[in-house]
Chains A and B, each alone.
Chain A
């Protein structure tokens, strides 16, 4: 695949948003120099601590917020393009919709605004209500809805017009466990239907379960991005050794990252690539040639925390030196 603009569903270059308040006396750097590339048919998890700039980025992609610098394309059209929104389904972070409207009225309004054909509107609205399991509350006013129900209505309005790209800002927030499972099922179904999903979330286990790629944003800067499989890729080997002689322990201790004894088994974790061969040799020489090995896999929690902490530390040092 070549690296041309047309290959990406979302592409940004140096996307920056600085909020100026009090005529420039107070400046907040919300997003700085963001370069994102999202492949078609991919589920992209956009991660970051609170205030990292995720929502601002999403709003810039949708043309709701004007970038201070930089730009990009969404579905091969420049940011802020009005027509491209026909192909985008968006769930805002706060599902604030017209509280005076009934669920069905609200979805009909959204169907009209999303340019759904008039003869299809009714059918699409009913289908969307069924998808988010709110068909029994279609006649209730949104003012009567709980946060979780509003979230579902938000997802329903995002799906109404069968968009090519879904941008979901914290879709799992406010949902109970069954609700979360339902939304995950919807997202997995959309993924199977080759839709591109860009979603931000704090629930890393969900991201790990759903995403092909992730990007981690910290204090407005993208600090890590790539396919999830690569980011969580093997970072070491775990050996399970039965009846290991205690005499081997002194020579193994400096080489392993972790050692644990369970009954008559030792579990040795070797994260340093350079030590893996030496450990294997020691075990072989010690008569433990039956040791089982398996590649260690990181979890997203660890990757996220390591990345954020390393970035904060680096920036702290930069600030001290600067």
Chain B
């Protein structure tokens, strides 16, 4: 497991040294903070608006982090940095798992930072308190991001950077939209929907915004689903990557 963690740490440290990440986090925090200024135009629903905006921004941060998985593998292949690493006694599967965990780590750190920012801004607003429901909603958003990362890893093993990124975004958008209609579909369409990652779990932030309670079972189910989906995706990625020539 050590070498997996070495790859994960290296992946995370490379992204953490990118100034663009901190610029993104600063921008997102500013956008969330600006949400407090819209009290007058939200007809007394500034809390819903503020939390909705906050969760949306966190989701965007998570999705952008997940996209690192799409271009990191093809980039390493193109720049040939992968050659030196894979010539070490490191299995390709472990390399992929390391990449996946590294990107998940980045997403976790970034989302946690913005999440803490959201909590602080919520507390500063004074009219409502940060609570456990926000944490539950964040866990569910993170579960969705983990699934997207796994999709990114699969696509990154055989597509070019731009194509893998574009397709991952299309899958995210498509799955997010189709998640709402899943219950009303049947047959082939429903099968396709079930093959896609389930991002509907990311939408429980609406419940929080309306003072609702997110059931812990839903949180547990979301985490379990993300884990299983990622496992299947990583197995697929491993099968593809094992056959790939690192030329």
Which residues in A have some Cβ–Cβ distance to B below 8 Å? 19, 56, 59, 62, 64-66, 82-86, 88, 90, 92, 94-98, 100-101, 109-110, 112-115, 154, 157
**How far apart sit A59 and B84, CA to CA, in the bound complex (Å)?**
11
Q: Is B177 an interface position by the 8 A CB rule? A: no
**In-complex Cβ contact of B247 among A65, A88, A90, A115 (8 A):** A65
Digitize B1-25: 1 where CB-to-A-CB distance is under 8 Å, 0 elsewhere: 0110010001001100100000000
What are 10 A-B residue pairs whose CB atoms fall within 8 Å in the complex? Answer: A59-B83, A59-B245, A65-B245, A92-B84, A92-B87, A96-B79, A97-B81, A113-B3, A113-B88, A154-B84
Q: A66 to B6, Cβ gap below 8 A?
A: no
Chain A hits for B83, CB < 8 A:
59, 64, 92, 94, 96
Apart from the given pairs A66-B245, A109-B6, 17 other A-B contacts in the complex at a CB distance below 8 Å? A59-B83, A64-B83, A64-B86, A65-B245, A65-B247, A82-B90, A85-B87, A92-B84, A94-B80, A96-B80, A96-B81, A96-B83, A100-B14, A101-B13, A112-B6, A114-B88, A157-B84
Q: Is B217 an interface position by the 8 A CB rule? A: no
Chain B residue nearest to A65 (CB atoms) is B245
**Given A66-B243, A112-B2, A154-B84, A98–B89 Cβ distance below 8 Å?**
no
- 9 closest Cβ contacts across the A-B interface? A113-B88, A64-B246, A85-B89, A90-B87, A96-B80, A65-B245, A86-B89, A92-B83, A112-B6
Chain A residue nearest to B242 (CB atoms) is A66
Chain A hits for B39, CB < 8 A:
none
**How far apart sit A85 and B10, CA to CA, in the bound complex (Å)?**
21
Minimum CB–CB distance from B101 to chain A (whole Å) comes to: 15
Q: Is B228 an interface position by the 8 A CB rule? A: no
**How far apart sit A308 and B130, CA to CA, in the bound complex (Å)?**
76
Chain B residue nearest to A110 (CB atoms) is B88
Minimum CB–CB distance from A153 to chain B (whole Å) comes to: 10
Q: B80 to A92, Cβ gap below 8 A?
A: yes
Q: A97 to B247, Cβ gap below 8 A?
A: no
Q: Is B181 an interface position by the 8 A CB rule? A: no
Q: B89 to A114, Cβ gap below 8 A?
A: yes
Chain A residue nearest to B7 (CB atoms) is A113
Q: B89 to A97, Cβ gap below 8 A?
A: no
Chain B hits for A90, CB < 8 A:
84, 87
Chain B residue nearest to A89 (CB atoms) is B87
Minimum CB–CB distance from A108 to chain B (whole Å) comes to: 9
**How far apart sit A109 and B10, CA to CA, in the bound complex (Å)?**
8
Q: Is B213 an interface position by the 8 A CB rule? A: no
Q: B84 to A115, Cβ gap below 8 A?
A: no
**How far apart sit A86 and B247, CA to CA, in the bound complex (Å)?**
21
Q: Is B85 an interface position by the 8 A CB rule? A: yes
Chain B hits for A114, CB < 8 A:
88-89
**How far apart sit A11 and B10, CA to CA, in the bound complex (Å)?**
35
**In-complex Cβ contact of B6 among A65, A94, A97, A113 (8 A):** A113
With contacts defined as CB atoms under 8 Å apart, how many contacts are there between chain A and chain B in the complex?
73
**How far apart sit A90 and B82, CA to CA, in the bound complex (Å)?**
13
Minimum CB–CB distance from B93 to chain A (whole Å) comes to: 10
Chain A hits for B246, CB < 8 A:
59, 64-65
Q: A113 to B245, Cβ gap below 8 A?
A: no
**How far apart sit A254 and B112, CA to CA, in the bound complex (Å)?**
89
Q: Is B212 an interface position by the 8 A CB rule? A: no
Q: Is B221 an interface position by the 8 A CB rule? A: no
Minimum CB–CB distance from A132 to chain B (whole Å) comes to: 15
Q: B3 to A112, Cβ gap below 8 A?
A: yes
Chain A hits for B87, CB < 8 A:
62, 64, 85, 88, 90, 92
Chain B hits for A92, CB < 8 A:
80, 83-84, 87
Digitize B94-136: 1 where CB-to-A-CB distance is under 8 Å, 0 elsewhere: 0000000000000000000000000000000000000000000
**In-complex Cβ contact of A100 among B13, B90, B91, B247 (8 A):** B13
Chain A residue nearest to B245 (CB atoms) is A65
Q: A98 to B10, Cβ gap below 8 A?
A: yes
**How far apart sit A112 and B1, CA to CA, in the bound complex (Å)?**
11
**How far apart sit A65 and B10, CA to CA, in the bound complex (Å)?**
24
Chain B hits for A100, CB < 8 A:
13-14, 17
Minimum CB–CB distance from A128 to chain B (whole Å) comes to: 14
Chain B hits for A115, CB < 8 A:
3, 89
Chain A hits for B245, CB < 8 A:
19, 59, 64-66
**How far apart sit A127 and B87, CA to CA, in the bound complex (Å)?**
21
Chain B residue nearest to A160 (CB atoms) is B88
**How far apart sit A59 and B91, CA to CA, in the bound complex (Å)?**
15
Chain A hits for B10, CB < 8 A:
98, 101, 109
Chain B hits for A64, CB < 8 A:
83, 86-87, 245-247
**How far apart sit A90 and B85, CA to CA, in the bound complex (Å)?**
10
Which has the most chain A C-beta neighbours within 10 Å: B81, B86, B87, B245?
Answer: B87
